[in-house]
């Protein structure tokens, strides 16, 4: 059973789509497991100015991706690096236990996108 918030984010996902010329991008999961997601970010003055995602996966995978983008938008990079899977699940009023491990990967994708941005900047 999913919460109303999960259902809402699944049916009306926020910030979905590929981003043109992102400052950073991170992909986690793989199609074999049934969940894979990519996060794209634009960064301005060490803040996440814009963020979008693309996700292959179940309802929880799509809802957590959507919620992660909503939470991250406008956040400082340091705060965003501190965002955990649990924070995302809490913001969605919880996830079924079985979905916590497999589908709740969006925060990891966000962290990878930030690392990718930092690497790009150093180049």
Partner 1 sequence: MSDILKVYMDNGAAKPVDHRVIDEMNLYHTEFYGNPASFHTKGFEALKALNASRKHVAGLINADPKEITFTSGATEANNLALIGGVRRYKKRGSKIVISAVEHISVFNITKSLTREGFTVEHCPVDEHGVIKINELEKLVDDDTVMVSIMTANGEIGTIQPIKEVAEIAHKHEALFHSDATAAMGQIDLDVRASNVDYLTLSSNDMYGPKGVGALYVKTGVRLTPLMIGGGQEGGVRSGSENIAGIVGMGKAAELAKAEMAEESKRLMDLRDALIKGLLEVIPVSYLNGHPENRLPGNANIRYSFIEGEALIMSLDAIGVTLSSGSACAAKTLEPSHTLLACGLKHEEAHGSLVFTLGKNNNRGHVDYVVRELPGIVHRLRAMSPLTPKELQ
Question: Known catalytic residues?
Answer: 33, 102
Residues 68, 39: Cα–Cα separation, whole Å: 9
* Contact between 115 and partner 1 per CB under 8 A: no
Binding mask 5-44 for partner 1 (x = CB under 8 A): --x--xx-x--xx---------x---xxxxxxxx------
Subset of 63-92 contacting partner 1 (CB under 8 A): none
CB of 16 to partner 1, least distance (A): 5
Cβ proximity to partner 1, 107 vs 109, nearer residue: 109
* Contact between 58 and partner 1 per CB under 8 A: yes
Report whether 25 contacts 115 (CB < 8 A): no
Cβ proximity to partner 1, 53 vs 117, nearer residue: 53
* Contact between 113 and partner 1 per CB under 8 A: no
């Amino acid at each position: 059973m999913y919460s109303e918030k999960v259902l809402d984010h699944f049916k009306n996902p926020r910030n979905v789509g590929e981003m043109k010329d992102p400052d950073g991008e991170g992909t986690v999961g793989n199609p074999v497991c049934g969940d894979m997601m990519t996060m794209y970010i634009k960064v301005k003055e060490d803040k996440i100015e814009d963020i979008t995602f693309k996700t292959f996966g179940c309802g929880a995978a799509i809802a957590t991706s959507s919620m992660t983008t909503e939470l991250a938008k406008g956040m400082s990079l340091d705060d965003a690096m501190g965002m955990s899977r649990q924070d995302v699940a809490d913001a969605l009023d919880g996830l079924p236990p079985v979905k916590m491990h497999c589908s709740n990967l969006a925060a990891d994708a966000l962290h990878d996108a930030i690392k990718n941005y930092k690497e790009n900047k150093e180049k």
